Amino acid sequence: MKMHGAGNDFVVIDSRERGAVTTSALAAALGDRHRGVGFDQLAEITGSDSADFELTFWNSDGSLAGACGNASRCVADHVMTTLGRDRITFKTERGILAAVRRADGLVAVNMGQPILDWQSVPLARETDLLHLPISGDPAAVGMGNPHCVFFVDDAEAVDLVGRGPSIEHHPLFPAATNVEFASVTGPDRIRMRVWERGAGVTLACGSGACAVAVAANLRGLTGRSVTLDLDGGVLEIDWREDGVWMAGPTARVFDGALPAEFVAAHT
């Protein structure tokens, strides 16, 4: 399936009946927007003994993503529709997470509690996560993947292509990092733009939106419930006692079948 959440687009492979098929080479081939399908991330669904299904995420460069909030919401929407339910659980690297369909039709997913210790983000050395020793005074938050959050006067004016790559591979982040630029535009409202690790500029990033909301709250800029305006749409973040919940739109664009020859050539 090709799906997107607020313009953050995905290929979703349903492997519950046959077992996982995705390799780094297959993910990179499918991620090529000229010779494959094209996506920000790929999500593969497999069976699980402890939840309704399990998800594995890949970036368009063939690297593992660790977490992907918008893809989680899209897949949850698909599975809830096929099962005729409004609540499901799924397993990721972060453990067992929950997703629900709200009364307004939006799909919300619990992304778990933020990671706020330097070793687990991970960072290369111990430092103040809310004030990293990087020009621009960013904060670090882990959401199953690392995030470097900059609060700026005008997110619209940031050159993502010019600044993103060097921060993604900053030596303070040994596993590289997603990079967010955020401006507080009103009471509990934030404008956010993102450079994603392994993908580049994307229209939205669910885990990044969660990281920005957490960092904004910890810095005293907003409350724990915020609305984020991204290039591709709007996401709602609510940091509760049981985790960081994210809600937003989902869309299923088309279904397709990969030729066996294409899969065999990249596995």
Q: Which residues pair with 205 in a beta bridge?
A: none
Would you list the DSSP string of 210-248? HHHHHHHHHTTSS-SEEEEEETTEEEEEEEETTEEEEEE
From the list 42, 49, 1, 6, the residue with the least C-alpha distance to 25 is: 42
- Read off the DSSP letter of residue 144: S
What SS3 state is found at 193? strand
For 83, counting Cβ atoms within 10 Å of its Cβ (0-12 exposed, 13-18 middle, 19+ buried), the class is exposed
Query: How far is residue 149's CA from residue 114's CA, in Å, rounded to a whole number?
Result: 13
| Residue in 74, 148, 205, 210 annotated catalytic | 205
Neighbours of 15 (CB within 10 A): 16
- Read off the DSSP letter of residue 106: -
* Catalytic annotation present for 205: yes
* Catalytic annotation present for 74: no
Token pair in block for residue 106: 């939006």
From the list 162, 161, 178, 182, the residue with the least C-alpha distance to 170 is: 178
From the list 139, 144, 219, the residue with the least C-alpha distance to 180 is: 139
| Residue in 68, 74, 148, 210 annotated catalytic | 68
Q: Is the Cβ–Cβ distance between 133 and 126 less than 8 Å?
A: no
Q: Is the Cβ–Cβ distance between 167 and 148 less than 8 Å?
A: yes
Please list the active-site residues.
68, 205
